[in-house]
Structure 1
Amino acid sequence: MRHTATTPDNWRRSSYSGPGDGDSCVEIATHPTHIAIRDSKTPAGVTLTFPPGTFTTFLEALKSPHPTAR
């Protein structure tokens, strides 16, 4: 799904960004119909978009250990 409702002023950098100018992180932009994520080092690159409920599920999955990880 392609969304064009993200503008340069609504991207926020992760609070977990690296030292210095925080160029080793992701950026997020919210919109009523979707949430977009991009790599801060390549802002013109690929952007992932999720419906809000799916984004919450995505975050929860990232926080949970993978069942086959040892």
Structure 2
Amino acid sequence: MINRQDIDLSRADWRKSTHSTAQGENCVEVARTDSHVAIRDSKCPDGPILILRHKEWNAFVAKII
């Protein structure tokens, strides 16, 4: 299991879909690090963050496309 404290997200560049509404309040945000992808709810940026390895993220995206 990946622990949030093990991944430095202090300088993460959080991004959301270009399909988000102008207010952008109900979005999923994604940030990449060298080895992981972090996912969070834009309404609660200090809340839970899901952290996946790149391989896991790629498998997830492949299933939803």
Q: What number of residue pairs does the alignment pair up?
A: 62
Q: Give the equivalent residue in structure 2 for 1:54.
A: 56
Q: C-alpha distance in 2, partners of 1:55/1:9? A: 17
CA distance in 1, matches of 2:17, 2:59: 18
**Runs of 4+, deviation exceeding 6 Å:** none
Match of 2:20? 17
**TM-score, scaled relative to structure 2:** 0.79
Quick one: percent identity of the two aligned structures? 32
- How much has 1:14 moved relative to structure 2? 2.0
> Which consecutive residues of structure 2, in runs of 5 or more, have no partner in the other structure?
none
Name the structure 1 match of 2:31. Answer: 29
SS of the residue corresponding to residue 45 of structure 2 reads coil
Query: Structure 1, unaligned stretches of length 5 or more?
Result: 64-70
Q: Give the RMSD, CA atoms, in angstroms.
A: 1.6
TM-score by length of 1: 0.75
Name the larger-Rg structure: 1
